[in-house]
Amino acid sequence: MSQGRLAGLARRLGGAVFALLVLFGVAFAGRAFLLPGFDLGPQTGIGGPFTLVDGSGTTVTEKTYAGRFLLVFFGYTFCPDVCPTDLAILGRTLDLLPPEARGRVAPLFISVDPERDTPESVSQYAKAFHPALIGLTGTPEQVAAVTRAYRAQYQRVEAQNGGVYTIDHSAYTYLMGPDGRFLAHFEHATRPETMAAVLRKVMGLPAS
């Protein structure tokens, strides 16, 4: 599904309904852009300083979100299936947390397609899935730096016959602590109930 059709569907249905459709596989079909053989390796040294731009054009860094748990996902707005699925899951995960706990979490969607994704378009795309989702992007150099810090991978794939290129990318969601320390990662299409349970545990909340 093209970005234009995606945005139109999101506007017509509203973010919440649209996210549920994606979550249950109604709105999208297509291959998953997962890199074969990719592994996080030792779970140390993940995360670190970054400089990016949010939807208002404001420069943000890791210090902007200090004191909050981070859920970090890398993707792009032209992504046909993986990104919509995982962003819908992120939105549902937030809704499963107690209202007073949601403000302690900063869910970040970082674009790996700075050539096409503007700060405004990334922000609008993310918020179509949940109003709390934060879309970020940056220069190619800034994007490369933050993906290296998180050991995320991405690779541009040129389309045949002059079509629109796609980007193969790893599809982990990283959970970082308020001190910036790596706590856990979730694979593509992890159930929101599972993610919410882990968040409750690390936040010191009782199980639901």
Q: Residue 169, annotated ligand binder?
A: yes
Q: CB–CB of 196/205 below 8 Å?
A: no
CA–CA gap between residue 106 and residue 134 (Å, rounded)? 7
Burial class (CB in 10 A: 0-12, 13-18, 19+), 144: middle
How far CA 151 is from CA of 11, 51, 144, 174, 200, in Å, comes to 34, 16, 10, 10, 25
Can you read off the two tokens belonging to residue 44?
Answer: 């140390």
Unique residue bearing structure tokens 């970040």? 108
Q: Residue 83, annotated ligand binder?
A: yes
Unique residue bearing structure tokens 């970090």? 72
Annotated binding site for Cu cation: 79, 83, 169
Annotated binding site: 79, 83, 169
